[in-house]
Amino acid sequence: MHLDPLNEVRRAFADNLSKVIKDLYSFDIKVTVSRVPNLNFGDLGSPVAFELAKILKKEPNEISNQLSASLDVSSIPYAHSSDAKGGFVNLKLNRKDFAKAVIDSTIKVGPDFGSSLIERSRVMVEHTSANPVHPLHVGSGRNAVIGDTFANILEKLGFEVSRHYLVNDSGRQASLLVYARSRLPDAKVEGKPDHWYGVLYAACNCIIELKKRRGKEAEEWKEALEELRKRAPDLVNKLEEEINKDENPEASVAELNKKYQEGKDEVVKAMFREVTEAVMEGFKQTLERLGIRHDAYDWESELIWGGWIDKALQRLKKSGYLEKEDGAYYVNLLKAAEEREDIRKVLGGNIEEIRTKMPPVYYLSRSDGTWLYTGTDVGYSLYKFEGLKEDKVYNVIGVDQKLAQLQLRAAMALMGIDPNKLVHFSYEFVDLPEVKMSGRRGRYVTIDELLDEAKKRVKDLLKERVGIEEKEVEEIAEKVAVGAIRYALINVIPSKKVIFTWDRVLNLQENSGPFIQYAYTRTRGILRKAGEVPEEFDASHLGEEIEIELIYKIAELPETIRNCYWLMRPDILAQYANDLAMLINKFYEKCPVIAAPKGVREARTALVKAASIALGNAMDILGIPRLDKM
RNA sequence: GGGCCCGUAGCUCAGUUUGGAUAGAGCGACGGCCUUCUAAGCCGUAGGUCGCGGGUUCAAGUCCCGCCGGGCCCGCCA
């Protein structure tokens, strides 16, 4: 069931205004309705008279007065009266009725409050998908949190959602790590496997890059290598020694990759699986802590062995734009764009622009016959739509892959799949203030260390709390840490960078996950003490300005969630939760609940219940854990 | 060089989608509030040429054009 009193009023107000305008001036105009900035002016307002003033060549005031007088207020639910101020047509609500409707409907639908029905189609969200060669860092964390939150939002809107992770186990990165492991087969994996392998991978990468580069570039890799050597001297020294025995490490890596993709050499297969599965196990542990689970892990190798990439290749061949050079396949996208309108459309407009700003071809494989990431990605996309029959797929991938995602969509069109079914959910990176994060250099802040540090800080705080038992500390600290980190990674618009500082991410004060958790926990405390929420209450007791603000904010949850979807902006929900928490805290200062006189107490208890539901539901979507004590 | 993204308080960010009523929070600074539902809180003070310059409009942080600064992409890497 979906209840949304605010939307009811808003729609009725806008429709009614449109109708009045049509009756009075006989034309159609789009009517916008928004919250009024000052409660004294009313509740909802429309600036439509300004636009009419221009057309009718009259004063906005005159028009707004006329509109307001002609409005049929009785046909708008919860409406009390209308008036005109400064050219705006304002609607005053019967706040008692509106409050009652909002609180009753929120309590009635409970966990479903905030839901709407947009569509029942099948939607996949592919997210995280970090290469299994180093631990998840805060950048991958942003991906995971955005993806998971967006998937939760889709579920609230009726979509049948599945969360997928593409395990990139067959590219050069994975091969490089397997190569490093093959040089040190007896080295003992110490600590969490993804962390240990992360050092091994970065060291191997640095050593190989160092051999290839000269001058300043070489210096830079050397520097990264020395940083790693400080962290794990024995491992790095031995690895360097072993790699130096290899005349051509680059060729060895390539050979491993080729053998693995062919899938016939069982020894090689076992080597890859040992390493990538160990790292993936580490990832799963980290993601589990953040409350993130995937419905499926799609292994790149299996897509290859299962024939999905070959199938995609056949499709592209049929389109007539697949070509080959030195044994490497590529799609001639420029030629396709020149000849096909739909391809031009995908690539963004006229052919001149495409010529100047796009690479003319799209390579799918190497000369040695191995697939590039682009090749497997084309096959994976085919699998998503024809294997899994998804109606729509959101790829949560960094902004750096914007062009690649565009080319992928063009390739989809050539395979005969509607490219609009594939959406690149793009997000900006997390930047460290000083150094640039780089998995290949072993420079990153991992989610694990972030969680642990956050937990430590929370535990310090909990020491000063009374009424928290020793055995509860661990669980509370973990949940607060998760709340802090998920909030910090979701509350910035995806198209903007997140600047990582420990103080910002581990902020426990206002505008943070813990601030939201704290406000929620207090609603739980009050409800515990107040006992049952009364069946009946008199909403006319809810007259304080902060109470009215709070009721409005609660009522805004359904439309907030819909906006998150339409705009692909999960951060809007984080903002909402913070705003709601702020109002709840202010309400506590101003309005005692338990100690309030009879009548007021019941009404406020019901309001707290509704606020608790709204905030709790928002937190569930954001993955910020609920707590009864903190 | 070309394309895309970003620029709002000392710092980190909302507000730009659909132009609308006094540009909002947090951190940091300063000053108050715990015999009263959890002080991870609340109240107050200070802090703004909304990068710069034009334009459109009754109205521009928001739309258009130009510029400046930062980032990303333009690989048989992913």
What pLDDT digit, counting tens, does each position of A526-567 carry? Answer: 999 998 888 899 999 999 989 999 999 999 999 999 999 999
For residue A1, is pLDDT > 70? no
> How far is CA A298 from its chain centroid?
20
Q: Which CATH architecture has domain A122-169+302-431?
A: 3-Layer(aba) Sandwich (3.40)
Our CA dihedral for A301, A303, A304, A307, rounded to 10 degrees, sits at: 150
Q: How far apart are CA A603 and CA A595, in angstroms?
A: 13
Mean per-residue pLDDT, A408-422: 97
For residue A296, is pLDDT > 90? yes
Task: Give me the DSSP letters along A333-394.
Answer: HHHHHHH-HHHHHHHTS-HHHHHHHS-S-EE-B-TTSPBPHHHHHHHHHHIIIIIS--SEEE
Task: Give the nucleotide nearest to A325 (CA→C1').
Answer: B76
| Residues forming beta bridges with residue A126, ordered by sequence position | A164, A395
Show the DSSP H helices in A120-265 as ranges.
138-156, 172-183, 193-212, 215-231, 233-244, 249-262
For residue A327, is pLDDT > 80? yes
Tell me which CATH code domain A448-622 carries: 1.10.730.10
Distances (CA, A) of A418 to A77, A455, A571: 42, 46, 29
Question: What is the per-residue pLDDT across A423-450, written as a single tens digit (0 to 9) for each?
Answer: 999 999 998 877 788 899 999 999 999 9
Q: Which two tokens stand for residue A213?
A: 């580069």
Residues of A (514-573) placing their beta carbon closer than 7 angstroms to any atom of strand B are: 514-515, 518, 521-522, 525-526, 529, 563, 566-567, 569, 571-572
Q: What pLDDT, on the 0 to 100 scale, is given for residue A89? A: 92
Can you tell me which residue has its alpha carbon closest to the C1' of nucleotide B33? A589
Cβ neighbours of residue A328 closer than 8 Å, sequence gap 6 or more: A363, A364, A365, A366, A367
Q: Which of A69-73, A160-164, A520-524 has the lowest mean pLDDT?
A: A69-73
pLDDT grade for A278, boundaries at 50, 70 and 90: very high
pLDDT grade for A165, boundaries at 50, 70 and 90: very high
Question: What is the per-residue pLDDT across A456-472, written as a single tens digit (0 to 9) for each?
Answer: 999 988 887 877 888 88
Task: Give the nucleotide nearest to A166 (CA→C1').
Answer: B78
For residue A349, is pLDDT > 80? no
- How many CB atoms are located within 10 Å of the residue A470 CB? 7
Whether the CA torsion A113, A114, A116, A118 is positive or negative: it is negative
Mean per-residue pLDDT, A127-133: 97
Count CA within 13 A, CB hemisphere, residue A522.
18
For residue A604, is pLDDT > 70? yes
Question: What is the per-residue pLDDT across A361-396, written as a single tens digit (0 to 9) for each?
Answer: 999 999 999 999 999 999 999 999 999 999 999 999
CA/C1' separation A284–B39 (Å)? 38
A367 touches strand B (CB under 7 A): yes
Count CA within 13 A, CB hemisphere, residue A237.
5
CA/C1' separation A103–B39 (Å)? 29
CA/C1' separation A31–B63 (Å)? 19
Task: Give the nucleotide nearest to A172 (CA→C1').
Answer: B77
Nucleotides of strand B lying closer than 7 angstroms to a protein CB: 2-7, 11-15, 17-18, 20-22, 25-28, 36-43, 57-59, 71-78
Q: What is the CA radius of gyration of chain A?
A: 29
Count CA within 13 A, CB hemisphere, residue A461.
17
A87 touches strand B (CB under 7 A): yes
CA/C1' separation A455–B10 (Å)? 30
For residue A249, is pLDDT > 90? yes
SS3 breakdown of chain A: % helix, strand, coil, rounded to 5?
A: 60, 10, 30
pTM equals 0.96
User: What fold does the segment set A5-93 form as a domain?
Assistant: Gyrase A; domain 2 (3.30.1360)
Three state DSSP letters for A395-427: EEEEHHHHHHHHHHHHHHHHCCCCHHHEEEEEE
Task: Give the nucleotide nearest to A628 (CA→C1').
Answer: B38
Task: Give the nucleotide nearest to A483 (CA→C1').
Answer: B40
Secondary structure class of A248 (helix, strand, coil): coil
Question: What is the per-residue pLDDT across A111-122, written as a single tens digit (0 to 9) for each?
Answer: 999 999 999 999
Cβ neighbours of residue A210 closer than 8 Å, sequence gap 6 or more: A218, A221, A222, A225
A45 touches strand B (CB under 7 A): yes
Interface ipTM > 0.90:
yes
Task: Give the nucleotide nearest to A36 (CA→C1').
Answer: B21
A458 touches strand B (CB under 7 A): yes
A92 vs A349, more confident: A92
Q: Which of A57-66, A159-168, A404-413 has the lowest mean pLDDT?
A: A57-66
Q: Which of A80, A58, A76 is nearest to A11 (CA)?
A: A76
Buried-exposed string A162-188: b where 16+ CB fall within 10 A, e elsewhere: bbbbbbbbbbbbbbbbbbbbebbeebe
Question: What is the per-residue pLDDT across A27-47, written as a single tens digit (0 to 9) for each?
Answer: 788 888 888 888 778 899 999
Q: What pLDDT, on the 0 to 100 scale, is given for residue A29? A: 82
pLDDT, mean over chain A:
93
Question: What are the start and end residues of each CATH 3.40.50.620 domain in chain A?
Answer: 122-169+302-431
Question: What is the per-residue pLDDT across A560-583, written as a single tens digit (0 to 9) for each?
Answer: 999 999 999 999 999 999 999 999
